Structure 1
Amino acid sequence: MTQFDELGRMYDDSAELPWRKHMEMFTVLKLMGDLTDAAVLDIGCGSGAYARAIRARGAKRVLALDESEGMIAHALARERDERLGIEYLCGPLPEAERGRFDIVLAVYVLPYATTVEQLSAMCQSAFTALRPGGRFITLVLHPHSTDEPDYYRRYGFRLFSDHPEVDGAPVTLELQLGDHRVTVSARYWTPHTVEEAMRTAGFRTAVWHRHDVDPDAVAEHGEEYWRPYLDRPHAAIIECGKAGDAKAATAPGGPEVTG
């Protein structure tokens, strides 16, 4: 059993939080671009929120993986009701599926590596799953986040750590949804270590993208609602490509690069 097994419904609800729906998911889906006829692998799919959004944007095939039996059971229950044509599997990518995907997405997966070896293995798994020219898009803890516990409270979560920002430092995220609260443990990895793991796996230069906000959401909530997060985001969005893709290799690495 993992720390996520009983959190499926809460993770569905978290996808409706303004910062996730109108900023994080908005940015990630825009970065993914036209998904018509694309084959997409969602690693660490959780409750399936991204998998469903990707399928709705026209992806020909969506395969979603998670190590949590509870998360996959929840996602499969929704799939039985909604019949979107998404495939869900509990566990690692089957060997027969290697090299078959145009995009691999891993949202908040790398932060759960507890060693450099695990971090590198995660990047290697994404690389192996991609076709030549494919792209890997992932979210990690941002080096410019803040450890002030209440800084992100307005967005529905708290982030705190008693450790310096060094490789493998434990970080706690506390998510608040109505009367429900869940605590998730993760790890911080420096940009150098993340990029080295990607290079070792075979990826080209990593591009760090800043978050965008849906203009309609800016109009609804006001610019000042979004400003604290944009100034000190807790997550960084990284894109890198497998050989044959020029798009993800045109900008230098580092957390200052914008999309």
Structure 2
Amino acid sequence: MTQFDELARRYDDTAELPWRKHMEMPTVLGVLGDLAEAAVLELGCGSGVYARAVRGRGAARVVAVDESEGMIAHAKARERDEQLGIEYLCGPLPGAEKGNFDLVLAVYVLPYATTVQELTALCETTFAALRPQGRFVALPIHPQWSDETDYYLRYGFQLTSDQPREDGGPVTLTIRSGDSEVSVTARYWSAATLEEVLRTAGFGSVEWRQHSVSPAAMAEYGEEYWHNYLARPHAAILDCQK
């Protein structure tokens, strides 16, 4: 059992948090662009939040992979009800799928590599899954995340670490909902290391994208609400091309 097996339903709920619903997801989907007829692989799909969104934007094929049996069981249950045509797989991507995808998406996956070797292997797996000119979009922990204890509390989570900020250092993400909370352990990777590993894996370009908030969401919640996150995001958005 992984640290995510009991989190599936709660992970679905996070998609309704304002910062995810009105900032992260629209920004990521905007970076992905036109998905019509695209074959998309999501690594570390969790409960399927992004897989469903990508399918809804016209992707011809969506394969979603996660190592957590609990996450995949939850996602498959939703798929049985919704019949979206998403393929959910538990475990590593089958070797036969190499070179079959136009896009690979990995939301909060790179932070769970515990060593540079694991990080490199993950990026190499991603590279191999892509067709020529394919893209890899990933959300690691932002190298400039704020370590102030309550900095992200208004968004429903905390990010903390009691160790120096160095490659592979553990960072605790605590998600708070009402009176309950759940924590997972992620890893920090510097911008230099992320770029080096991605280029070592074979990617020709690595671009850092910025989060954005729609005028409607800015007006609804106010500039002050969004200020902390936009100033020091907890997640970066990397856009890489094969």
Q: How would you bin the TM-score normalised by the shorter chain? A: over 0.9
Q: Which amino acid aligns with 1:215?
A: P
Q: Which residue of the partner structure matches residue 23 of structure 1?
A: 23
Q: Which amino acid aligns with 1:11?
A: Y
Contact 1:13/1:177 (8 A) holds in 2: no
Per-residue deviation, residues 82-124 of structure 1 (Å, max 9, x unmatched): 0000000001111111101111000000000000000001101
Per-residue deviation, residues 137-166 of structure 1 (Å, max 9, x unmatched): 001111111111101000000111111211
Q: TM-score scaled to structure 2, two decimals?
A: 0.98
Per-residue deviation, residues 201-248 of structure 1 (Å, max 9, x unmatched): 100121011101122211211111111110011110001100xxxxxx
Q: Which residue of the partner structure matches residue 184 of structure 2?
A: 184
Q: Which residue of the partner structure matches residue 140 of structure 2?
A: 140
Q: Which residue of the partner structure matches residue 40 of structure 1?
A: 40
Alignment of 1:206-217 (within 5 A): 206-217=206-217
Q: Which residue of the partner structure matches residue 131 of structure 2?
A: 131
- 1: CA distance, partners of 2:61 / 2:185: 31
- 2: CA distance, partners of 1:87 / 1:215: 35
Q: Which residue of the partner structure matches residue 103 of structure 2?
A: 103
CA RMSD of aligned residues (A): 0.7
Q: Which residue of the partner structure matches residue 121 of structure 2?
A: 121
- 1: CA distance, partners of 2:10 / 2:98: 31
Q: Which residue of the partner structure matches residue 221 of structure 1?
A: 221
Contact 1:14/1:177 (8 A) holds in 2: no
Q: Which residue of the partner structure matches residue 249 of structure 1?
A: none
Contact 1:136/1:239 (8 A) holds in 2: yes
Give the paired residue count: 242
The structural deviation recorded for 1:180 is 2.3
Q: Which amino acid aligns with 2:167?
A: D
Q: Which residue of the partner structure matches residue 4 of structure 1?
A: 4
Unaligned runs of 5+ in 2: none
Aligned identity (percent) is 68
Q: Which residue of the partner structure matches residue 201 of structure 2?
A: 201
Unaligned runs of 5+ in 1: 243-259
Contact 1:66/1:91 (8 A) holds in 2: yes
Q: Which amino acid aligns with 2:144?
A: H
Q: Which amino acid aligns with 1:16?
A: E
- 1: CA distance, partners of 2:187 / 2:82: 35
Q: TM-score scaled to structure 1, two decimals?
A: 0.92
The structural deviation recorded for 1:16 is 0.9
Per-residue deviation, residues 187-210 of structure 1 (Å, max 9, x unmatched): 001111111110111001210111
Structure 1 stretches of 4+ with a deviation exceeding 3 A read: none
- 2: CA distance, partners of 1:22 / 1:70: 27
Per-residue deviation, residues 20-71 of structure 1 (Å, max 9, x unmatched): 1111111100000011111100000000000000001111010000000000
Contact 1:157/1:173 (8 A) holds in 2: yes
